[in-house]
Structure 1
Amino acid sequence: MTTNTLFTANNLDTWLAHLEQLHPNAIELGLGRITTVGERLNLIELDATVITVAGTNGKGTTCAFLEQILVDAGYKVGVYSSPHIHRYNERLRINFKELSDQRHCDAFAMIEETRKDVSLSYFEYATLGCLYLLQQEKCDFILLEVGLGGRLDATNMVESDLSVVTTIGIDHIDWLGSDREKIGFEKAGVFRANKPAICGDLDVPDSVIEHANNISAQLKLVNKDYRYERIEQDQWRWIGQKTLSPIKQTLMPIQNAATALAVIESLDLDINAQRLIDSIEQASLAGRLQPMTGYPCDVYIDVAHNPQSAEYLASQLQRIKTTKGESCKVHAVVGMLSDKDMTATLSAINHKISDYRFVSLDCYRGASADLLFEAYQKSENNSHNVVKFLNVESAFEDAIKDADTSDIVIVFGSFHTVSDILKK
């Protein structure tokens, strides 16, 4: 069957269903297939300043900080990120705005016509489609969030002008390796010879530095070429070639804000210091300790799904608890994917949780509540009251019913878990 008979002009859902069936593997790293099609569409070198952002955690928030700064400074900025939480269109933003279903359908039609006999994964197809649209939009800056790893990720097909590695933790071990040195090497694969590279990890693996040196990348490291420090409980300062202070702490990580500021400094853009501070304080991103309104108690959702992100979430929950008093309880609704390190993730946050509601995720790689509970039993400080639920909605309703007005309900563990709350 041909593209014309398979798809209507406006039916994005039908296109997406088709993409899921095109390739036998949901995840298949490698640049051969996508580069073949990318070259046919002239997508290797984009007509914009391209910033590629890799890292275990913090990619999305670093891009959000950069997006806010650059848009506020008057630039046209395109952002490609993944996965989406609620709608596919979230994967591409132009100055904060999503593009229409029709634009994405048109891009898919072009990719389908161009790829010919090349088999593409869902992510490769999505990446090509969004790159095609970004090229059409004639942006000043393009921010590319790496999907998985870096060296062999589809986004690494594009020649970037500046590369970032936010943090390096243990995740996706089946594809990236089981230790930080191996994972660091994979993520440093986004670096480019003789071009700026920023690493915001507080304990950077040797492999990252060695790779940067081998290709003569212009590497800048936190606590060496720039740094940040708290000056009060809710304020901090950034110190590079210039100092920015005071900056109000928001719900997104200071570490990633500092990395974004290091990027801006490396770009040598003439942006007023107060404007930089204002942009950092205004930046936000869906699903990152996102407050939900309309409930009798405080409710937050967060996509934390590995030990490093769970540790940060725990620290932020403690910050919030200190403003609410000792009687504040934290009721957690958790759903995770089965290939995540569930035991280590829960160990990182157990000490801040009062009780758990584990849920089964009905999606590819979704863990059952029973499997999640088995992982919890192996975790540290596992003396909570735990109830298992078949879905996120029923667990969330039960948590809200059980919570006092001074309590916190936190929903976390996966983009799928957060998405189910946003659909309510």
Structure 2
Amino acid sequence: MILLEKFLNSKPLYYDVIDLSRMPKAYEYIKPHIKLGKVIHLVGTNGKGSTGRILSSLLLSKGVSVGHYTSPHILKFNERIWINGRDIDDERLEQAHKRVFSLLPENVANSLSYFEYTTLLALAAFERCDYIVLEAGLGGEFDATNVVEKDLSIIVPIGKDHQQFLGDSLEEIAATKLRSIDKKALLSPNQPEIVLEVAKHIATEKGYEIYLTQEILNSNERDEIYKNLATNGWADYLKDNALTAVAAMKLLGFDDFGTLPERVELRGRFEKIATNVILDVGHNELAASAIVKALKGKKVVLVYNTLEDKDAKTILSILSPVIKRVEIIPIQTQRQMAIDRLKSIVEELNIPYCDFKSINEEEEFLVFGSFYTAEAFLKMI
């Protein structure tokens, strides 16, 4: 058997066309041999990681064992698999790889994509957990994580992203994501009206129940949660994600929702990594709007780069009221936007720009654009 790191490095991270039959067939080999706890599935465009980590922390505070699967990672693969408050260690990761590899025919293991194999790896690592918080990748109905039977689906805000796989309109994207629901679903606040309409239609069609966060929690409970979070420096979107996590605890049968964490132990979610530097892995229009709201009019230097399939012009237009200038940082991926194209977009928007060199203590900085941007920045500093 090839060691995990070498095995994963042999797999491409992205595909232009995805074989939708591959993951369900592979899971059939694994399913009889791995007993899973209750699964909470997170689907949507923005907020899966932070909502999942807050929920996982709440569950852990109630004395149950919990695993959280998130993606992608920033610096180390182990960040993707969190068990009872810690990233998985190398030894346990290798044990999970050995287990999965032994259960799959070699040709099947070799055929799986990076994300597909990683999902099976996480399920093997989570076998002893009472609860599994499972974050979808870019999709819903056809996502690798959707092979598992879910006890609860959480739908975080849905917006336009990954249109080449999910559909051109918000209605199409919402339908693709919402068809992943098995039994019941909790919708977070701030959903576009069309998402609510699609959710009600598919719920009737498939026979599942839908709940709204703002209806699960009464006004006193919402006020108490916001009061608890008033001093921890969270952006408003993280507070909304905390509301969703608490509502999920109630749907899971916990009358006392547990202890909210003082901060989200997850890199790059409006994270203050220095007195004058905020790191956020957001990469689309929804995330840009949330950042503008969170900055509350403060002007920042934007350390930025992005991928070729992102609408950089719209994203930067949204951010422009809070940008003093853009500093472009190089990132390491074949999917990056051509630098000349990115510079022409910034010029068209009349935003001053230069290459990123270093942080100075005289100005406030926001690092934003993608996980690759966050990784490049952290490695440079």
TM-score by length of 1: 0.81
User: 2:132 matched to 1:147?
Assistant: no
| Paired residues of 1:334 and 1:357 also in contact (CA < 8 A) | yes
3-state SS, counterpart of residue 84 of structure 1: coil
Matches of 1:245 and 1:30, distance apart in 2: 44
- Give identity over the alignment, percent: 31
2:286 counterpart residue number = 308
1:325 counterpart residue number = none
Deviation at 1:27, TM superposition (A): 5.9
The structure-2 alpha-carbon separation of the partners of 1:420 and 1:152, relative to structure 1 and needing over 3 Å to count, comes to: same
User: 2:246 matched to 1:255?
Assistant: no
Q: 2:96 aligns with which of 104, 107, 120?
A: 107
| Paired residues of 2:367 and 2:374 also in contact (CA < 8 A) | yes
1:392 counterpart residue number = none
Q: 2:187 aligns with which of 195, 199, 210?
A: 199
2:46 counterpart residue number = 57
Matched AA of 2:252: L
3-state SS, counterpart of residue 19 of structure 1: coil
2:208 counterpart residue number = 217
Q: Deviations over 1:249-305 (max 9, x none)?
A: 442522211111111111121326xxx4x4154434211111123xxx511111110
| Paired residues of 2:234 and 2:263 also in contact (CA < 8 A) | no
1:354 counterpart residue number = 324
Matches of 1:111 and 1:101, distance apart in 2: 15
Deviation at 1:29, TM superposition (A): 4.2
Aligned ranges for residues 183-332 of structure 1 at < 5 Å? 183-192=173-182, 195-200=183-188, 201-204=190-193, 205=195, 206-226=197-217, 238=222, 244=225, 246-249=227-230, 250-252=233-235, 253=237, 254-271=239-256, 276=258, 278-293=259-274, 298-318=276-296, 321=298, 329-332=299-302
2:23 counterpart residue number = 34
3-state SS, counterpart of residue 164 of structure 1: strand
Matched AA of 1:72: S
| Paired residues of 2:329 and 2:376 also in contact (CA < 8 A) | no
Deviation at 1:190, TM superposition (A): 2.0
Deviation at 1:416, TM superposition (A): 0.7
Matched AA of 1:418: A
| Paired residues of 1:28 and 1:121 also in contact (CA < 8 A) | no
Matched AA of 1:160: K
Deviation at 1:38, TM superposition (A): 1.3
Greater mean alpha carbon deviation, residues 282-291 or residues 170-179: 282-291
| Paired residues of 2:43 and 2:135 also in contact (CA < 8 A) | yes
| Paired residues of 1:289 and 1:300 also in contact (CA < 8 A) | yes
How many residues in Structure 1 have an aligned counterpart in Structure 2?
370
Matches of 1:62 and 1:245, distance apart in 2: 15
Matches of 1:316 and 1:246, distance apart in 2: 17
| Paired residues of 1:333 and 1:396 also in contact (CA < 8 A) | no
Q: 1:15 aligns with which of 7, 25, 37?
A: 7
Matches of 1:244 and 1:408, distance apart in 2: 29
User: 2:365 matched to 1:412?
Assistant: no
Deviation at 1:422, TM superposition (A): 2.4
Deviation at 1:49, TM superposition (A): 1.0
Greater mean alpha carbon deviation, residues 104-113 or residues 209-218: 104-113
Structure showing greater Rg: 1
| Paired residues of 1:164 and 1:199 also in contact (CA < 8 A) | yes
TM-score by length of 2: 0.89
Q: Deviations over 1:354-381 (max 9, x none)?
A: 1111233221301233222223345xxx
User: 2:55 matched to 1:66?
Assistant: yes
2:155 counterpart residue number = 165
Matches of 1:245 and 1:384, distance apart in 2: 36
Matches of 1:396 and 1:102, distance apart in 2: 37
1:369 counterpart residue number = 339
| Paired residues of 1:44 and 1:158 also in contact (CA < 8 A) | no
Q: Deviations over 1:340-359 (max 9, x none)?
A: 11111111111111111123
The structure-2 alpha-carbon separation of the partners of 1:166 and 1:222, relative to structure 1 and needing over 3 Å to count, comes to: same
Matches of 2:303 and 2:34, distance apart in 1: 44
Q: 1:78 aligns with which of 67, 92, 102?
A: 67
Q: Deviations over 1:211-252 (max 9, x none)?
A: 122112110124455477xxxxxxx9617xxx7563324425
